[in-house]
Structure 1
Amino acid sequence: MVELVNKGVYLLQGGFILEDDGHFSMNEVNGRLAGAGFGPLSGTEISRDKARTGTITYQILNSHNQAGNSDTLRLRFDALASHDITYVGIIQTARASGLKEFPVPYVLTNCHNSLCAVGGTINEDDHVFGLSGARKYGGIFVPAHQAVIHQYVREMMTGCGKMILGSDSHTRYGALGTMGIGEGGPELVKQLLAKTYDIAQPEVTAVYLTGKPAPGVGPQDVALAIIKAVFKNSFVKNKVMEFVGPGIANLSVDFRNGIDVMTTETTCLSSIWLTDEKVAEFYRIHGRPEAYRRLAPAAASYYDGLVKVDLSKVEPMIALPFHPSNVWTIAELNRHAAEILREVEAAGKKQLENSQLTFRLTDKLVDGRLKVEQGVVAGCAGGTFENIAAVADLVSRKPVGANDFSLNVYPASQPIFLELINNKAIEKLMLAGATVKTAFCGPCFGAGDIPANQGLSIRHVTRNFPNREGSKPASGQIASVALMDARSIAATALNGGVLTPATELDGLAAPPVYFFNRQVYDNRVYQGFGKAKREEELKFGPNIADWPKMLPLPENLLLKLVTVIHDPVTTTDELIPSGETSSYRSNPLKLAEFTLSRKDPAYVGRAKAVQELEFKRRQVLADGQMPEDLSTVFRQTGKECREPEEWRQFVRDTGLGSVIFAVKPGDGSAREQAASCQKVLGGQANIAVEYATKRYRSNLINWGMLPFTIADGAQIHLNLDDYIYIPGIRQAVMNQTEKIAAYAVNDRGQTPLELSLGRLTQEERDIILAGCLINYYAK
């Protein structure tokens, strides 16, 4: 099904794979090509360095590079995209940094924060602010329920060879020839201020597709098979996945999009696919034929690794709680359900770290088969035209029924909804007992269709992290989600909620023809790019607040460990929950109250206690008085001062803050709030063995937080409520020191630690020194 080659490979003539085992003569290479039915390569040698420039990835990245060399890239994007959980903070930050007008098309969609019953008026207040921002600065505003962010971008913004930056981790448009990257809001702020996105030239992994999916196998099945193979071993972490091979021709564009959007769950940086006539037809259907051009690797291209996928061997898959990589085939689960579910329960209990909750799945077995209560097909992964048309065709055979299983379907855009009405698919769904709703991302992050306590929902969405579906462990609630393809969700609905792969059904229909009607958007979407109305005022609701003042990095730091997490991976959903908290995204102080609330409910109180000490320290700067509790804390550093003034000067120079330790934090969402909420509560750093994603580390840096790493095993010295003393940290950052001397401080004394900042660009160091990106631009 999926095979990994963990070494460099050449892709020759677009289809012949040659593993990099050393030097090859051209005669040898051309002999192998001829034997496989390929034409010869010209030239006298195969050069690895030259072949690296032959990838589609290299071609696109370097066409957007503003730097003078290709090793360190300084990228400018063709367009930007945000939704209503992120765009208020982005505009506020850019406005504070001197924004006058959006320099590139910037799409503001309203697909996350759409449940206006939560929090009173504040959700719609954000939307009013967004429209006023689009008018003032020249943006594109997509009102609520018109489209989920990535479907609108697919339909209206993509183009072969383009790059798009989005403040959502699932910013992936590779199947349409567009490199999409999901990052935290500050990276979009940089683009709005005509700055660049700076990264080293990334490694590129080829994903070589062969064969053709069996009837009943859908894009989520292929995506989950790939995620299972590459996530836990970090095979493509921070790399670009480049899809090539003859199997692509056997996939529709909707099918490709469904695989592509899930590449985020591999922790790759981005994705890109070769393009063909099917992609050209997509652009013709959407009224943008000029957006197409052929993208393909050069005759000789070099990749840093290879993922081989035989599409014909992919079976219907299921990702059980609590991660998209926790994957089995549905057939395997049905054969060994009790054994597998006990294994998942044991792993889930460790991950939840809450002894008051009992996570159960084995009690859902009926005659040895797993029975679920809910099915949902929604969002950028599930809500595509072909997915929903397939569900409609299947459930037309038999009603869902008046039982404890429900089926909810969300078309990803109004044009898709309209065409599903025109071809009677919506009628089939409704008559079968499915509930059809408008475009909304809520089921993907816990703001829609939350299961009952101890419930299990099967969903064609992007993620199934702990409590992401909306349950609240602090309130004694627990529910969970398993990821599946829409086709097998429909098959399960036909079977009364008993887990059933779609491959067990006969007579599956081919996808219907799609007709796109852009009049839906023409009559509702505000198109303001290039038409900024600078004289107009932004419209602020009572919940929209500015960022609190943040100080520059002090000379020394004394940090208290307020959370210690030993889980193998910590998701951004655990750092800042999704769901109902989205109502407070525009108010940094209110949102910060939810930080780590589902992972460590005591975090906020501990962080605030440290922050209160920091406020007292600042008073020392003003009046010179030294409170006893503050003096006690600082004396733990072991600093020897002969005179009172020398002691006061040390306190002036030494900032107090909180720090969290997690083994591998930051898997999942691009939401900057996972970092900014810590900063608002006085956080100054994270300590990790490694960071799960580049985007989370970038968010820390952009909020002026130090992204420390520590050697695996050394974290034994990091205990809750210990202090970490880091003398001379400002000078170390200024001097580009990678290894930082620090000390773990507690009642038993001091223990030396070695922390690392890794590779930081000069701009990143300057942002940390300034205290955050806002301060950096204010200078």
Structure 2
Amino acid sequence: MGKNIVQKILDAHIVEGQPQAGQEVGIRIDQTLTQDATGTMAYLQFEALGFDRVKTEVSVSYVDHNTIQEGFENADDHKYLQTVAAKYGIKFSKPGNGICHQVHLERFGAPGKTLLGSDSHTPTGGGIGMIAIGAGGLDVAVAMGGGPFFLTYPKVVNVELTGKLRPWVSAKDVILKVLEILSTKGNVNTVIEYSGSGVASLGVPERSTITNMGAELGVTTSVFPSDETTRRFLKAQNREHCYVPLMADPDATYDRVIKIDLSTLEPRTACPHSPGNIKTLKEMNGLAVDQVLIGSCTNASYRDIMLVAAALKGKKIAPDVSLGVACGSRQVLDMVSRNGALADIISSGARILESACGFCIGNSMAPKTDAVSVRTSNRNFFGRSGTSSASVYLTSPEAAVAAALSGKLVDPRDVFSDDEYPLITIPDQFTIDDSMILEPSANPGSVEIFRGPNIGAPPTNESCPAVLDGVVAIKVGDKITTDHIMPAGNRLKYRSNIPKYAEYVFEREAPEFAAFALENKKNGVHNIIVAGESYGQGSSREHAAICPMYLGVKMV
């Protein structure tokens, strides 16, 4: 019997267990990535485990989340990450070099490889045929040290794409359609594999948009074939040597097949407060918009930004709209600054934001009270924008530009009915400048690791007691995300200091929870959390488990 792409990659990497759906297997990890919001804890754990050097083919530490300096904590963490990387054999991508997933796709990702990242949107790498999985920092630390990553051998759902997207309909609309079909729950231990004649019409950036936001399905990861399109992309990045073709066998089987005709798709949006709350833009009836933000690891590629520039060229944004645009990487920013596209964006009235995660995690660009914010990012959880009363709608770059120009959430085909759809092609050669990716030290013994006062040791835990004797410390509902449990934004700077960060557990749900739980712990009373479906969905931020553990939570 033939194999699908998922089986081909996983089976070639299994070091423990048998390739049978539902069974636990351990796989060899070829590459790892971390970002600064989760990376500090991952490297503290790496050190605590006693490893002296990474054993992967490539490990990269990115700084892209907390690049806003408010207090000393972020800058201290960045210096810790840089020195740890130098000492242990890890590449270090400096602040300003770009978002981890965009940069990794450009400079390191390779078809057929496994990638484990301490960020839930690591599946971006599936756009070039990787098995790329988001995980907790401890899993990544073990993988960096040469240990296997354990997962449940997945079911594979095939999404067969046919046809071709019509003008002003985009890859974002593809993944929003998949979310509409599969929802955000009930998809654990599943991998989505894309196939069909429609795949050839999608470039690597478009495929990566789809696999990136596939994380919102709750699946292990998503993957596309590696084909001629993949080869051209890698060649343009001076990395054609990384290319290997990768397709499912003709007689490959799947646990489920979903068929989508790209030519029938309509522009869509994910409405508040879930990426799975999907409506067509026609249904939005011209909802007034206050803010539009274009960027994030989902939609900030060269293709995305060039399309935005072409759609904005010669036009001005609506007077009551604030528009921000962030390129996904320094490579993209450099190229659009040289070819004139950046000038077209600036001339429209847009604000140019740093090549970082920024607004997506709520550490900047918080909208006004009761605002309607249209964003090209991947999550619109309650309060994630930094303004609890705001309503965040997720759309494609095409729809975001239409909203910025019209001041309304509308189908972009209504705004651009007289405009020819911009056809953006991948350049034959991207601008290559890796000077902001620092190589590890050739003399690691001479590297002294910097530790600021905010950086602590990973907390220890005791074995689960034979008898749980406690109280229900909080009762919450369905779809409680990691953002509900551990707020991001201005709290993320405490990610290296568990006792401090734990003070904000369930801050938006029940501000008194942390103090109550800690008092119970001091008195020997176990804390229990009662929750509904899909508790803990969203980010791979392991602080959502570590901080409640620190407060004495013994059961969810």
TM class by shorter chain equals over 0.9
The code of the aligned residue for 2:492 comes to S
Tell me the residue number matched to 2:360.
444
Look up the match of 2:530: 661
Aligned to 1:142: 93
Q: Which residue is 1:412 aligned to? A: 328
1:305 maps to 256
- Give the CA deviation at 1:389: 1.0
Secondary structure (helix, strand or coil) at the match of 2:337 reads helix
Partners of 1:152 and 1:515 lie apart in 2 by 18
Give the one of 434, 440, 452 matched to 1:528: 440
Q: 2: distance between equivalents of 1:385 and 1:114?
A: 22
Residues 297-376 of structure 1 mapped to structure 2, 5 A cutoff? 297-334=248-285, 369-376=286-293
Question: Structure 1 233/94 Cα, relative in aligned 2: closer, same or farther at 3 Å?
Answer: closer
- The alignment partner of 2:408 has SS state of coil
Say which of 31, 56, 68 aligns to 1:115.
68
Determine helix, strand or coil for the equivalent of 1:66: strand
Does 2:496 match 1:579? no
In the superposition, relative to structure 1, how do residues 515 and 581 fare at CA in structure 2: closer, same or farther (>3 Å)?
farther
Alpha carbons 2:284, 2:409 under 8 Å: kept: no
The whole-number CA distance in structure 1 between the counterparts of 2:453 and 2:238 is 41
Query: Deviation digits for residues 668-725 of structure 1, max 9, x if unmatched?
Result: 0000000001011111221xxxxxxxxxxxxxxxxxxxxxxxxxxxxxxxxxxxxxxx
Residue pair 1:137, 1:534 contacting (<8 A) in 2 also = no
CA contact (8 A) 2:503 2:515 kept: no
Map of 1:684 onto structure 2: 554
* Superposed CA offset, 1:602-653 (max 9, x none): 2112201211202xxxxxxxxxxxxxxxxxxxxxxxxxxxxxxxxxxxxxxx
Give the equivalent residue in structure 2 for 1:280: 231
Of 445, 449, 454, 1:543 maps to 454
- Greater displacement, 503-512 / 283-292: 503-512
CA contact (8 A) 1:414 1:438 kept: no
Q: What one-letter code is carried by the residue in structure 2 that aligns with 1:507?
A: E
Q: Distance in 1 between matches of 2:18 and 2:479?
A: 35
Supply the AA of the counterpart residue of 1:550: N
Aligned with 1:494 (options 405, 411, 415): 405
Deviations 1:44-87 (A, max 9, x none): xxxxxx34xx1110010011110253234211110100100111
Query: How far is 1:411 from its partner?
Result: 0.3
The Cα of 1:666 is off from its aligned counterpart by 1.1
Per the alignment, residue 269 of structure 1 pairs with 220
Deviation at 1:570, TM superposition (A): 1.0
User: In structure 1, how many angstroms separate the alpha carbons of the residues matched to 2:464 and 2:410?
Assistant: 56
Given the alignment of the two structures, is residue 394 of structure 1 paired with residue 311 of structure 2, yes or no? Answer: yes
Residue number among 190, 200, 215 corresponding to 1:239 in the alignment: 190
Counterpart of 2:494 in structure 1: which amino acid?
Y
TM-score (structure 1 length as normaliser): 0.69
Hey, what's the Cα distance between the residues in 2 that align with 1:219 and 1:203?
Answer: 24
Q: How far does residue 136 in structure 1 lie from its aligned partner after superposition?
A: 0.8
Written as runs of structure 1 = structure 2, the 5 A alignment for 1:370-769 is: 370-401=287-318, 403-472=319-388, 478-495=389-406, 497-504=407-414, 505=416, 506-514=419-427, 517=430, 519-521=432-434, 523-528=435-440, 531=442, 533-565=444-476, 567-614=477-524, 656-664=525-533, 665-686=535-556
Q: Quick one: distance in 1 between partners of 2:456 and 2:537?
A: 28
- Assess if the C-alpha contact under 8 Å between 1:561 and 1:661 holds in 2: yes
Contact 1:419 1:516 in 2 (8 A): no
**Would you say the 8 A contact 1:100–1:534 is kept in 2?**
no
Q: Which amino acid aligns with 1:524?
A: M
Number of residues paired by the alignment?
A: 547
**Cα offset for 1:515?**
5.6
Aligned AA (2:374): I
Give the letter for the 1:381 counterpart: T
d(CA) in 2 for partners of 1:586 and 1:516?
A: 40
1:182 alignment partner in structure 2 = 134
Cα distance in 1 between the residues matched to 2:292 and 2:327: 14
**CA distances 1:543-582 after superposition (whole Å, capped 9, x unpaired):** 11113443233332212210111x2211111011111111
Q: Is 1:295 aligned to 2:246, yes or no?
A: yes
Identical counterparts, % of pairs: 30
Residues 217, 315 of structure 1: 8 Å contact kept: yes
What is the CA-CA distance between 1:532 and the residue it aligns to?
6.4
Task: Provide the C-alpha distance between the structure 2 equivalents of 1:237 and 1:308, rounded to a whole number of angstroms.
Answer: 21
CA drift of 1:422 comes to 2.0
Given the alignment of the two structures, is residue 128 of structure 1 paired with residue 41 of structure 2, yes or no? no
AA of the residue aligned to 1:332: E
The CA deviation at 1:514 is 2.7
Counterpart Cα distance in 2 of 1:149 and 1:139: 14
**Is contact 2:6-2:191 (8 Å) kept?**
yes
Q: What is the deviation of 1:265?
A: 0.7
TM-score by length of 2: 0.96
Question: Secondary structure of the equivalent of 2:445?
Answer: coil
How far apart, CA to CA, are the structure 1 residues paired with 2:353 and 2:158?
A: 38
Answer yes or no: is the 8 Å Cα contact 1:137–1:532 preserved in 2: no
Aligned partners of 2:468, 2:188: CA distance in 1, in Å? Answer: 31
Q: Residues 97-130 of structure 1: CA distance to partner in whole angstroms, max 9, x if unpaired?
A: 21211111221111001111x2x11101000000
- CA-CA distance at 1:175 after TM superposition: 1.6
2:125 paired with 1:208: no
**How far has the Cα of 1:517 moved from its partner?**
4.7
CA contact (8 A) 2:152 2:189 kept: no
Q: Extract structure 1 runs of 4+ deviating beyond 3 A.
A: 515-519
Q: Distance in 2 between matches of 1:451 and 1:374?
A: 7
Deviation, 1:471, is 1.9
Structure 1 residues not aligned, in runs of 5+? 1-49, 335-368, 473-477, 615-655, 687-779
| Cα gap change, 1:168 to 1:233, in 2 (>3 Å) | closer
What's the CA shift for 1:91? 1.0
Question: Does 1:253 find its partner at 2:204?
Answer: yes
For residues 513 and 553 of structure 1, do their structure 2 counterparts lie closer, same or farther at Cα, with a shift above 3 Å needed? closer
CA contact (8 A) 1:138 1:532 kept: no
Corresponding letter in the other structure for 1:259? I
Preserved contact between residue 161 and residue 259 of structure 2 (Cα < 8 Å): yes
Structure 2 counterpart of 1:427, which letter? A
Deviation of the 1:199 alpha carbon: 2.2
Q: Distance in 1 between matches of 2:461 and 2:426?
A: 55
State how far apart, in whole Å, the 2-side matches of 1:136 and 1:681 are: 33
Whichever residue aligns with residue 145 of structure 2, its letter is L
Relative contact order higher in (CA < 8 Å, ≥ 6 apart): 2
* CA distance 1:233–1:533, shift in 2 (3 Å): closer
Is the Cα contact below 8 Å between 2:292 and 2:321 reproduced in 1?
Answer: yes
Larger radius of gyration: 1
Residue 8 of structure 2, aligned match among 59, 62, 74: 59
> How far off is 1:519 after superposition?
4.3
CA RMSD of aligned residues (A): 1.5
Residue correspondence of structure 1 range 221-232 to structure 2 within 5 A: 221-231=173-183
Return the alpha-carbon distance in structure 2 between the equivalents of residues 220 and 589 of structure 1. Answer: 39
SS in 2 for 1:324: coil
- State the distance in 1 between where 2:43 and 2:440 align: 15
Distance of 2:308 and 2:115 partners within structure 1: 31
